[in-house]
Structure 1
Amino acid sequence: MLQNVKMADRLFALARMLPLLVVCFALPLGAAAEAIETPAREAFVFDVNTGAVLLEKDADVLMAPASMSKLMTVTMVFERLQDGSLKLDDTLPVSEKAWKKGGSKMFVKVDTRVSIHDLLRGIIVQSGNDACIVVAEGLGGSEEAFAEAMTAHAREIGLEKSTFKNATGWPDPEHRMTARELGLLAKYIITKFPEDYEIFGEKDFTYSDIKQGNRNPLLYKETDADGLKTGHTQESGYGLVGSAKRDGRRLVVVVNGLSSTQERSRESERLMEWGFREFDNYALFKAGDVVDHARVWLGNEETVPVTVEKDLLVTLSRQARKSMVVKVVYDEPVPAPILKGTPIAQLIVSGPDMDTVTVPLVATQDITRPGPLKRLTSAVEYLVFGPSAN
């Protein structure tokens, strides 16, 4: 009996030298959208649902983000609200530094206290530099300490390049972000703080009897936009991080380095409409769908069904569907025993002008090993007659 086991194992080793199996499906689904140019110095457009990048231009170049970096200031407040260490009706004191700060203002008054509820709207709707400093000093002790905490938290959530030197986006040679990381920060806010995110869609806010409108031009257009933030300094030019949701899809558009508020308005709307018009999301497989049957080596079944653990949704050009290629890749045969849920193959989706998507495929059932004699005869049959015998 022991001799039979050893022989089966040796035959198994020989069989494992057979080539990798690749199964290709010709699906009527993919090819590139027409290329689009943008006058923005930096740009990044992506689909939040799938993560597919639709456009990038110098998206990883460190740039002056201006007031768009206030998204991180807001994130720091949202985190505290979510963990319960801060409440919307809590108040923070207004220092002389905050009161005197130039640029866009909420118009807080020195030696008063302002609620978190109002400060968030002062930052998001009115882009108030004074409101940012009130938050920074109230939560961090000083603006400098708060900026260090912003940078540290950026690393924690995956923003590897962003560095913050203040809470406002005020010009500083070391205050830098990339278009990609601004987009990823927008996604983080949208997905982690859905209720708080609604503030970004508010079109105006009144404080100290002064009513100011939201500076985001997309909110006033028929784009289905509901956020996020504009920015402008002499160094950065005119920029915007915008997001819109339409027919179940959500896009984020980041542009920077534009020449005027008019160009910023036109270009952000144009890229948003282009993203919705030229691309769509396609459901390839649902969790539990049998994608393929992987051949098994020395198991109680000849094959095992494999599936995706989560619904597989991909973004691609509406004009490019015929060129998409879907492959199932695995080492044939898969040795038993196999536990249900074990990754044993990969599904690879590729096509023109789309990021290749690789998803693990898992076994849908347990596969056990038969006795030594059965393993020996199966191994011999496999080597003599090939895969069809097993």
Structure 2
Amino acid sequence: MPLLARASTLLLSLTAFAALLAAILLASQPAWAKGSRKAGWSPVAAEILMEAGSGKVLRARNADTLTYPASLTKMMTLMLTFEALDRGTLRPDQRLVVSKHAASMPPSRLWLAPGSTITVEQAILALVTRSANDAAVVLAEALGGSEPAFAGKMTARARALGMRRTVFRNASGLPDRLQRTTARDMAILSRALIRRHAGHYAYFQRRSFDWQGTTVYGHNRLMARYPGMDGIKTGYIAASGFNLAASAVRDGRRLIAVVMGGHSAATRDDRVADLLDIGFKRPTSPARPAPATPDLVITRKSSSAAERSTAVSVAVPSAKPSTGSAGGSAAGSWSIQVGAFASRAAAARSAGVTARRLGALAAGASPEIVRSGGLYKARLTGFPAANADAACATLKAAGHGCFAVQGR
């Protein structure tokens, strides 16, 4: 056979082999990755800019056009988790068992093994930083019994919040053609998390957390470079493009920006920054108070001292720092604990405002700040046992966290 003919035959054979190999690789893709993008198809580009306080929409483009939420889905998974913490049906240090279904989730993940355990707080941090799909399913199964049942609860909660066009089919945001949302609905969800769960919103500020001796870093890179931004969630699947729901505070005014369908994480982040800049340049009404920074607060639902140091509940409202002594009176051997905070100043504010709220019930009691486990615990000390119980009952009736602590 002539040399040219042999070369042509070899080229045809190689071409056929390459086509066969491509077909095999496509067939071996996991089911969640197939059919996510068609030739010539691009994700929906949508955006919305909203004032967090009033809910007023400042700018919108395709805000009601259906698209896919991707990992913005995890914001609803976290909302239902926060509500369970507030009800006491979950504790931050409670260990949850990892099922085979949860462990089978594709990345992004923590690579949890079937039968292993993870605490509720670790799962929360895994969602807000790593956007771990396996940890999302662990929470879903703990709260709903199964992931499909939990997805039904997610959709029902969305309707109650006014998210009219959202349907959730899983807890993670992994591709499902029936799981849909809009930029407006994601802004509504972001606003609800900020306003209704101030005591938990601080989790969204976390950029990393320690997991089994290693540091897990987050995906939200805009938060590191945009002044005032303190959350909340990134997302990506091929069908949605790059999504981001973000919130920032400047001069006492909080804005929410949602961008969906970005062509890259960088262009998405730049567009969110542009929207926030546009919003902050608008004139605002004077004398609008700055939102209180969310703090960790302990409640009696945690049964041990160790659990109380990590439990999370609603934030105590901000007030001017107390001018009282941090020492404490010996008028009684009981104290009431009303919060555990990241800073001494926040603990002092909480103790001061609690004393003023209790009025005569706090007569003879003094503010006391106790540092433990890296937190500052806000207490009023010097109560007789009966007065401590009465003071806590009053605070709980008003929706504030409190429990009594006997002195040594």
Q: Smaller-chain TM-score range?
A: 0.5 to 0.7
Deviation string, structure 1 residues 75-117 (Cα, Å, up to 9, x no partner): 1101111122211111211012212211211232321111111
C-alpha contact 1:249 1:281 (8 A) present in aligned 2: no
What corresponds to 2:96 in structure 1?
Answer: 92
- The CA deviation at 1:40 is 7.9
Q: Give 2:181's aligned residue.
A: 177
Using the size of structure 2 for normalisation, the TM-score is 0.58
Question: In structure 2, how many angstroms separate the alpha carbons of the residues matched to 1:260 and 1:53?
Answer: 25
* Aligned residue in 2 for 1:261: 265
Aligned residue among 47, 58, 81 for 2:62: 58
Which amino acid counterpart does residue 167 of structure 1 have in structure 2? A
SS of equivalent residue, structure 1 residue 81? helix
Cα offset, 1:54, TM superposition: 1.1
Alignment correspondent of 1:133: 137
The partner residue of 1:276 within 277, 280, 292 is 280
Q: Give the structure-1-normalised TM-score.
A: 0.61
The 1-side partners of 2:254 and 2:174 are apart by 30
Q: Matched residues in 1 for 2:196 and 2:166: separation?
A: 20
Preserved CA contact (<8 Å) 1:223 1:269 = no
User: Equivalent pairs: percent with the same residue?
Assistant: 35
Mapped partners of 2:279, 2:155: distance in 1: 31
Residue number among 214, 217, 231 corresponding to 1:213 in the alignment:
217
Q: Secondary structure at the match of 2:195?
A: helix
Q: 1:203 corresponds to which residue?
A: 207
Q: CA deviation at 1:283?
A: 6.8
Amino acid at match of 2:234: T
Mapped partners of 2:117, 2:156: distance in 1 = 28
- Equivalent residue runs for 1:158-169 within 5 Å: 158-169=162-173
Structure label with greater radius of gyration: 1
Partner in structure 1 of residue 376 of structure 2:
none
* In 1: Cα distance, 2:62 partner to 2:226 partner: 28
Where in structure 2 are there 5+ consecutive unaligned residues?
1-42, 289-408
* Number of residue pairs aligned between Structure 1 and Structure 2: 246
On the 8 A contact 1:43/1:255 being kept in 2, the answer is yes
The reply on whether 1:111 has 2:137 as its aligned counterpart is: no
The equivalent residue for 2:385 is: none
Which runs of no fewer than 5 residues in structure 1 stay unpaired?
Answer: 1-38, 285-390
Q: Secondary structure at the match of 2:284?
A: strand
Give, as a single letter, the amino acid of the residue that structure 2 aligns with 1:68: L
The structure 2 residue matched to 1:73, chosen from 57, 77, 86, is 77
More strand by share: 1
Q: Secondary structure at the match of 2:248?
A: strand
For residues 138-197 of structure 1, the C-alpha deviation after alignment (integer angstroms, 9 at most, x for no partner) is 211111111011111111222222100000001111101111110011110101111110
Match of residue 293 from structure 1: none
Work out the CA distance in 2 between the residues paired with 1:60 and 1:151. 17
Letter in 2 for 1:233: I
Residue aligned with 1:138, SS? helix
Q: Give me the whole-angstrom Cα distance separating, in 1, the residues matched to 2:110 and 2:286.
A: 44
Greater relative CO (CA pairs within 8 A, separation 6+): 1
For residues 46 and 125 of structure 2, the distance between their equivalents in structure 1, rounded to whole angstroms, comes to: 27
| SS, match of residue 177 in structure 1 | coil
1:235 match: 239
1:1-80 mapped onto 2 (5 Å cutoff):
41-80=45-84
> After TM superposition, which residue ranges in structure 1, 4 or more long, deviate above 6 angstroms?
none
Find the residue that maps to 2:256 and give its secondary structure: strand
Aligned residue in 2 for 1:122: 126
Aligned to 2:151: 147
In 2, Cα distance between equivalents of 1:94 and 1:72: 20
Residue 58 of structure 1 deviates from its aligned partner by: 0.8
